Amino acid sequence: MEQASVVDLFCGIGGLTCGLKKAGLNVVAGIDNDVTCKFAYEKNNHAKFVDADIAELASEEVDALFSDAGIKILVGCAPCQRFSRQANKIRGTFDHATDKRWNLLKSFARYVEDIKPDIVSMENVPELRNFDVFEEFKECLVEAGYYVSYKVVDCSRYGLPQKRRRLVLLASRYGKIELIPETEIKEKRTVRDALSGLPVLESGEVDAHDPLHRSAGLTTINKERLRQSKPGGTWRDWDKTLLPECYKKPSGKSYSGVYGRMEWDKPSPTITTQFYSYGTGRYGHPEQNRALSLREGALLQTFPRDYEFFENVDRISIGTISRHIGNAVPVDLGKIIGISILRHLQERQACPITQT
């Protein structure tokens, strides 16, 4: 098989890149306009970080990153905030026509049209399927001669210790390509599998031997709420005096998506950019009275233990690093995508399909 090279659009700190490399693919570069991701991306993946706006970067510059690769693979996860379930609820609060992030998938399509990579992979939130921009992206691929498949996956069914639903699209010039089936993954991991053995922490504490194992502080009332929270339970486990005002109203009685403890023997909820905050999701530690540490969020996102997220320990920002981790494609989902691509190339022996 010819040498294959990968360019990762919207690469962030390299979750997808890391997973593809674990699968055996050669990722040569990642592109992102958030320069705070550069250190982690380059340090861990030994690939070039290109600080650029996808909407403005010329196709010729992206194509040059592949150098003399015999097989070009273009992958990426466009920022998904504008397609998420929450954004759907508040769709009237922003202008789709003028919001640059809304059109980043169109920039991805432009690269496909101009560069004509052999393989394309795109990962995003499931809600993207509800928007015209996704249909336009698919049509672009089909019209360019690609076979296209996509599915919504629950990452926990692919062996990740996290219930994270993602839309994964694969496209190939060589013929039929699909994500490997869930049935091939025999191991199913839980919160316990990912987090057990880490040192005990208090809220607001930092582990002396691992500066990434740090948790945010809690207010007095949130400490008491957490003490009364049961794994897998809700705010209904608390004394009524601890209820926020919104939960005392009829409209708030059915909402149980925040202020919860995770359960040891189940996958975690989706790790978002605010997983360090007890009040923004079900991010209470299963038994310690605190929210997840940065290290725990990274492990649930399946980053390797030796992945380096910061250059200077004295300048760690919980908000910045949690954003980097929560925005990342889980490493092991990237590995599943990489295995699927490699298997396809090996089965097809990298022979382009004949266009008629």
pLDDT in tens, 7-57: 999 999 999 999 999 999 999 999 999 999 999 999 999 999 999 999 999
Mark whether 80 is an active-site residue. yes
Q: How far is 166 from 325, CA to CA, in rounded Å?
A: 16
Single out the residue of 257, 253, 250 nearest to residue 272, CA to CA: 257
Share of the chain above pLDDT 90, in %: 81
191-327 to CATH, choices 3.90.120.10, 3.30.70.360, 1.20.58.100, 3.40.640.10? 3.90.120.10
Catalytic site residue from 80, 140, 246, 351: 80
| Range 4-189+331-348 has CATH code 3.40.50.150 | yes
pLDDT of residue 256: 63
Burial classification of residue 312, based on how many CB atoms lie within 10 Å of its CB (0-12 exposed, 13-18 middle, 19 or more buried) = exposed
pLDDT at site 354:
46
Buried b (16+ CB within 10 A) or exposed e, 262-282: bbbebbbbbbbbbbbbbbebb
The C-alpha atoms of residue 110 and residue 6 are separated, in whole angstroms, by 17
Beta strands in the chain (DSSP E): 4-9, 26-32, 48-51, 71-76, 119-124, 147-154, 165-172, 206-207, 210-214
The whole-number pLDDT of residue 315 equals 86
Q: So what's the pLDDT on residue 103? A: 79
Instruction: Report the candidate in 60, 2, 12, 58 with the shortest Cα–Cα distance to residue 37.
Output: 12
Summarize the confidence of residues 248-258 as an average pLDDT: 63
- What mean pLDDT is reported for the chain? 90
pLDDT of 314 reads: 87
Indicate where the chain has its CATH 3.90.120.10 domain(s): 191-327
| Lowest mean pLDDT across 20-29, 77-86, 230-239, 340-349 | 77-86
Residue 351: pLDDT band with limits 50, 70, 90: low
Token pair of 230 as six digits: 């049961």
pTM: 0.92
**Residue range(s) of every CATH 3.40.50.150 domain in the chain:** 4-189+331-348
